[in-house]
Amino acid sequence: MYISNYRRRSEAVFLVFFILLLLCIGRLLFIQFFRSNYLTSIANKQHNQLVELEPKRGAIYDSNLKAQAFNMSMDSLYAVPNGIKNKETVINLLLPILGVERSYLTNRLNRDKAFIWLARKIPSEKAEAIKRLSIKGLQFIKETKRIYPNSYLASHIIGFSGMDNTGLEGAERDYNKFLKGESGWAIFLRDARQNKLDIWEKMVLPVDGLDLVLTVDEVIQYIAERELDKVFKDYHAKGASIIVMDPHTGRILALANRPSYDLNDRSGVSMDTLRNRAICDLFEPGSVFKIVTASAALQEKKVTEEDIFDCENGAYQVGGRILHDHKPHARLTFRQVIEESSNIGTVKVAQLLGPDTLYRYLTTFGFGSKLGIDLSGEISGMISPVRSWSKSSITSIPMGQGVGVTALQLVSAISVIANGGQLMKPYIIDSVRNNHGEIVKKNKPVLIRKVISLDTALRIRKILTGAVEEGTGKLAKVSGFSAAGKTGTAQKIEANGTYSHDKFIASFIGFAPAEDPLLAIVVTVDEPHPSYFGGVVAAPVFQKVAGDAIRYLKGNAVPLEA
């Protein structure tokens, strides 16, 4: 009896354990076949860390390979919120170092995540202070920060990139596909305390970005910005632009605008300040536009330099309006008409040409269409076809009214006179190179079209030299060098469509040395006051920039103090 009961109890216990064993086996089989992927992923998250390997963004250099933008390695702080126990203590320790709001840290550290950024690309002293705290759950990753060593210099050319090293403005944005490179990745092992080990399981190396070489010369850019800044401040202007170009090739040696901004600190910078006025602002050019009428008249053999024009003592009724000169003139030769910037004389020359011929030269000089500079934002300007002209158009367009141009178009047009009659495509990117200095892409001078003959260009060059020596551009005279150019003073249009009597654009276009031009320059100043004449406001900027830049190009020392 006793043995029988013992046997039954033994069998019952065995059956229970056998059932438990079957359940365990079933559970193991279930985990193996249905939960393995899930559990493996958890294990991988605990013991493996996927890290993106950032490529080195390419540098930007000036034409002499002086760095204008490059990347510097910095520490970025991240947290593993699940691995931080006393979060309030951690927040209190980090607050005085990071200098952020408590709510910011509280929000991020209370997220149910295995990775969260706390601060990116922080100064080395802050990173060292945090490392000394030895807080479990805080880790650092090396990232690179874009550095612009010259601050404001060439800001509208270079532009800037964002936190993730993606270009957002200027050449940084337009050539981002070359500069950025391709990211890599690596899977690093972690220990039981979630600390990253310097042991990687898999890795794909990043591909570094390519370098960008500009046509801009850092020294000439500095000279141009220094003088532009002075005129902008001295005349309380709304805006200003300058472009310095090699007239023979179309290479942009300097381009600047005011207002400007610090590439390293863009906080509070408005869209108006970011705008590259030199290529995207439309304005009526005023008397600088007379170079087109003068060139067309000589090319078409409608006039000679010594032909006489009656300038009506400063008042001429034509096309239903009375045309005035800035000061009365009686009889002037064609040469003097341009040198003295007579509106009446210029209109009489244009009447000899006729609307169709004048329009043809306007477009041949590049007005009314994009020139194709290798920066985004260029506009085409505004030149109405002849069928849209009114009876008074032939009296206003020759002297720069009723048309819209850009500073880039003006410097390209004066370059036609300087280089012997050719319209060159302006460009600002010299080349793209790899980190071994090998050229991947190279830009070369491109001829858009032949505009006027060499003979006509040389004759206009002499007239424009006279405009500087004896005419309205006397303040553009360059000490030690000859110069040629044309002044312009254009009334701005009010909201009601009428011409303003107190808002002007002062401008000067020219080249130097006159007999063998090295530089073509345009200077525009928007709403200067109290003075607003191009010969007073813009011409001295040309004089100083041309003089210092030519001396620099010829190997002479140039003072660069502000």
Residues acting as catalytic residues: 287
Count of CB atoms within 10 A of residue 282's CB? 12
Residue closest to 228 by CA, chosen among 523, 475, 507, 549: 523
SS (H, E, C) 96-126: HHHCCCHHHHHHHHCCCCCCEEEEEEECHHH
Give me the helices (H) in 300-406, please: 334-339, 343-353, 355-364, 393-396
Kindly give, in sequence order, each residue whose CB lies less than 8 Å from that of residue 221, ignoring residues fewer than 6 positions away.
62, 153, 154, 253, 254, 255, 256
Residue closest to 173 by CA, chosen among 212, 208, 223: 212
Distance of CA 28 to CAs 20, 42, 449, 489, Å? 12, 17, 81, 89
Find out whether the peptide bond into 530 is cis, omega within 30 degrees of 0.
Answer: yes
Kindly give, in sequence order, each residue whose CB lies less than 8 Å from that of residue 560, ignoring residues fewer than 6 positions away.
219, 222, 223, 226
Kindly give, in sequence order, each residue whose CB lies less than 8 Å from that of residue 220, ignoring residues fewer than 6 positions away.
244, 253, 254, 549, 552, 553
What is the rounded CA–CA span in Å between residue 476 and residue 529? 19
What does residue 417 show for φ and ψ, rounded to 5 degrees?
A: -70, -40
Distance of CA 282 to CAs 173, 225, 228, 285, Å? 23, 21, 19, 9
Show the tokens assigned to 555.
């190997």
Cβ atoms of 303 and 349 closer than 8 Å: yes
Kindly give, in sequence order, each residue whose CB lies less than 8 Å from that of residue 287, ignoring residues fewer than 6 positions away.
341, 343, 399, 400, 472, 486, 487, 488, 489, 490, 534
DSSP conformation class of 393: H
What is the rounded CA–CA span in Å between residue 158 and residue 70? 11
Cβ atoms of 54 and 208 closer than 8 Å: no
What does residue 398 show for φ and ψ, rounded to 5 degrees?
A: -60, -25
Residue closest to 311 by CA, chosen among 291, 325, 298: 325
Count of CB atoms within 10 A of residue 126's CB? 16
Give the position of tokens 């008042």. Answer: 315
